[in-house]
Each structure stands twice: as structure tokens, then as C-alpha cells.
Amino acid sequence: MDWDVKSVFKLPERNNYAYRVILKYQDGTKHIQQKSGFQTKKEAEDAKKRTIGELSNGTYVVNCHVRLKEFLEYWLEYDIRQRVGSFNTYSVYSQTVKHHIIPYIGRRRLTELSRGDIQRLYKNRAECSVHIVRHVKTVLNVSFRYATAHKLVSVNPAEGVNLPKIVEAKPYHTRNIDIQKTLTMEQIQILLEASKRTQIHMQVLFNVLMGLRRQEINGLKYSDVDYINRTLTVERQLGKELDRNPNASGENTMTKRELPLKSSSSKRVLPIPDYVFEAVLEERKIYEKNRSRRKSQFLDADYICCSSYGKPRSKDFHWRHYKNLLKSAGLPDIRWHDLRSTYCTLLLKSDFNPKAVSKLMGHAKELITVDVYGDNQNIIPEEIPELVSYMNDVMPKKRSGQDLKDVVLDTVIETEKYLPDK
């Protein structure tokens, strides 16, 4: 579009000054905006100069009446819904907006929001939960970057606003492991032996001995197993599909749909430890027995972790069995995800190559395994020159024509000496 800013003039009926902005669109239409309420002519002239500057550099806000509630609802449906990879991620964003942002500042206009408003919101939500206020900060940072890029605001009010001091600063991409929430090799042996008497034995094996995510485990099929090379291909997960159409009815409640993996790095080929491989063979015998016994009722979908009728497990099926298992075995009451952390931490403490461990875990960044799971290890910023020598030490050299695929495939956690004979 083109634009024109008219001279400052006085409004006799209001006894103040104003000026008009004429916006000319490509279809030939014009839109006139009047900026008024200035007590002196100099104040109006200064505002006019700022407007011309914003029009010249492309930061002028055309619609000043959009409220935060309206903007966030639009942003969720037409930006976030289109970009996120899973229903779970979208749900976290949506619930944060609905319950923790809109009720407090949702009626404010975007152009009226200030850093002070954002700081007060952070303080209020921090008193509720540290976890919640971190979600609020993420949502506001991402949404206001979108608003700034689309000229809904000229300045991002959330940029540079820190959480209250009562919220401990969290280094970028780091999450240190509490050693009390991971298992020792001896405790793993107890867990595996006790899990044989439960319906989640295979899920426990795939988690603590191969480091698979919960929904990756539920999506495993016998066809993913290479019985000759004893490898497992991880190429899908089960979960609830996110409908990309914001106007859909929302009646799709299927939670066991085959979905793409979390990221491209999540697709990987893993070596299967002997203990797990033998368990897969035994589980296959049970699968075949159930299939022949229930021919008309059996769902032959090839899932390794399934019911006696062949139906895949839901993402929360393991929960009750897992907590009872820990209690009966006298093991620490740790989260299911802490078993995956246990697997990774054991590898790192055994001096396994961090990049190889990253590939085994399905992480996108080469150092993210060290960042997230390494005990008391912090992020290593690549841009700091003083740490280049350290980076060279911890990061393996890339081989010509390869991307360390053979390093990953040759990396197997040696658990057999700790485990009972099959």
C-alpha cells in the first residue's frame, strides 16, 4: 500500500490537536485514520513524525483495536495448529492461553500492553506455579513475535521481560538429572525381574534398556524387527492426531492413531540387546497363540505391545501397573520418563560417545543428550570461542560420506552380565 500523512490541525469542539493518516491499498480503496487528543500543537507534530517513521520502516500498526484475547485465539488456530507436530503440544499452548493469560489481560488491546503488564502477569502466575509461569512466558514470547512480524504491534512488550526472582533461572536446553530419580544397574535388574509378572514387561524393556519414548513403544510392530541383524527400526508413534482444520467439529477422539515421530531425528535404527531380543521372540509366541485362539475377534495389526485381542495400548495404559510395580519391588517412586533418563545416564557415565547416545535417544541436537540428561552438565554455547577446544574434545569428527550411522549401530548397552539367565 501507499500512504499520506496530513498536516496537524486544531479541533475547536475538543480544544485539542489532531492529524490524519490516509492508507491507500492496492485495490484502490482508501482508509482514513484520525489521530487526536494532543493538548499542544508540538505534541501532535512529534506524534506525526513518529507515525511517518513507522510508515517508512514498515512498523506502523494499521488496526489498533485488536484485543489480546482475539489475537491469541486467532494465533492458536491459524499459526500454532498448522505448525506443531502433535495434539499434546497444541493442547499445552491452548490451555495456557485459555486459563492463564486471557482471564488476566485478555481484554487489553495489543497496542496498549506494556512490559509492566507482562511483569505483573508473570508475578501472578509464578505464585500459582513455576511450571505454569514458564509456559506463559513461552506462549507470550512466541505469540508476540508473530504479532510483531504481522504488524499488529510495533514493539514486542514481552521481549526481554524476565520471570520473577522467585523463579529459578533455567539455562537454555538444560535439565539436570536428580541422581535419586534414576535407577542403578542393580535396581534395573530388580525392576526387570518383577515386571515379568505384569502386563507392561515389554514396555519396561524398551524403555529402560533401549531408551524409547512412551508413544514410540506403543507404535512398535514385529515388522520393525530385523531378526537377522537384531536391530529395531523406530518409525512411528501412537497418539491423538491434531486436526489441522480449525473449523473441525473436534469429535475425533481416537488416541491410538499412527502418527509421524516427534522429529526427523526420532526415526532411527537401534541395536537390540540379547535380553530384549529374546523377550521379543517370547512375546511373539504369545501373539500367535492369541491370534489362532481368537481368529474372528483378533486385530492382527502386528503391534508388539498389545492386548490379548491384538489391540494397541493407550499412552497411559502403563501408569497403574508401573506404580504398583515400583511399590511391590521396593524401588524408588520415579516417573516413567525417568527410566529413559536412567538408560541415557548409564551410557554417559560409562563414557559412551555423547553423539552416539544422542542418536540412540532420537535427539535432534548433537549435544542435547549431554544438556538434558547428563548429571550436572550444562549447555555449551557454540558461539563462545574459549570453549571451541572443549567442543572439539566432546564432539566426534564426522566421517567422509557418513553421519556416524555405524557408530550408533555398534553401540549397545551391556546389560547381560547384570541380568538373570532367560
Provide the pLDDT for residue 180. Answer: 63
The set of long-range contacts for 349-353, using a CB threshold of 8 Å and a minimum separation of 24, is 349/375, 350/413, 352/411, 353/396, 353/407, 353/411
Provide the pLDDT for residue 241. Answer: 80
Distance of CA 308 to the CA centre of its chain: 33
Q: What is the pLDDT of residues 360-406, one digit of tens each?
A: 888 776 566 666 666 544 333 333 333 333 334 333 343 444 444 44
Highest mean pLDDT pick, 179-183, 200-204, 383-387: 200-204
Provide the pLDDT for residue 399. Answer: 41
Q: Whose CA is closest to 368, among 389, 354, 382?
A: 354
Q: What is the pLDDT of residues 296-325, one digit of tens each?
A: 999 999 999 999 999 999 888 999 899 999
Provide the pLDDT for residue 258. Answer: 87
Contact between 143 and 75 under an 8 Å Cβ cutoff? The reply is yes
Mean per-residue pLDDT for 178-201?
Answer: 87
Side chain identity at residue 377, one-letter code:
Q
Joined together, the cell numbers standing for residue 222 give 514385529
Distance of CA 42 to the CA centre of its chain: 50
Contact between 275 and 205 under an 8 Å Cβ cutoff? The reply is yes
How far is 411 from 262, CA to CA, in rounded Å? 22
How far is 107 from 42, CA to CA, in rounded Å? 32
Compute the chain's Rg from CA coordinates. 28
With a cut of 50, say whether residue 408 has pLDDT above it.
Answer: no
CATH number belonging to domain 179-418: 1.10.443.10
Q: Where in the chain do CATH 1.10.443.10 domains reside?
A: 179-418
User: To 10 degrees, what angle do helices 201-208 and 185-195 make?
Assistant: 160
Provide the pLDDT for residue 330. Answer: 93
For the chain, give the number of residues: 422
Contact between 209 and 415 under an 8 Å Cβ cutoff? The reply is yes
Average pLDDT across the chain, whole number: 82
pTM strictly above 0.75: no
Phi/psi at 165 (5° precision): -65, -20
Q: What is the pLDDT of residues 12-25, one digit of tens each?
A: 888 899 999 898 88
Q: Hey, is 35 helix, strand or coil?
A: strand
Query: What pLDDT band is residue 59 in, cutting at 50, 70 and 90?
Result: confident
Query: What pLDDT band is residue 100 in, cutting at 50, 70 and 90?
Result: very high
Provide the pLDDT for residue 240. Answer: 84
Burial 72-92, CB ≥16 within 10 A → b, else e:
bbebbeeebbeebebbeebee
Provide the pLDDT for residue 35. Answer: 87
Joined together, the cell numbers standing for residue 347 give 551410557
Hey, CA dihedral for 375, 380, 386, 389, is it positive or negative? positive
Classify domain 68-149 at the CATH topology level: DNA polymerase; domain 1 (1.10.150)
378 vs 121, more confident: 121
Q: Where in the chain do CATH 1.10.150 domains reside?
A: 68-149
Q: What is the pLDDT of residues 26-50, one digit of tens each?
A: 888 888 888 888 999 999 999 999 8
Provide the pLDDT for residue 123. Answer: 94
With a cut of 80, say whether residue 221 has pLDDT above it.
Answer: yes
Provide the pLDDT for residue 12. Answer: 87
353 vs 93, more confident: 93
A 10 A CB-CB count for 246 gives 13
How far is 248 from 243, CA to CA, in rounded Å? 7
With a cut of 50, say whether residue 266 has pLDDT above it.
Answer: yes
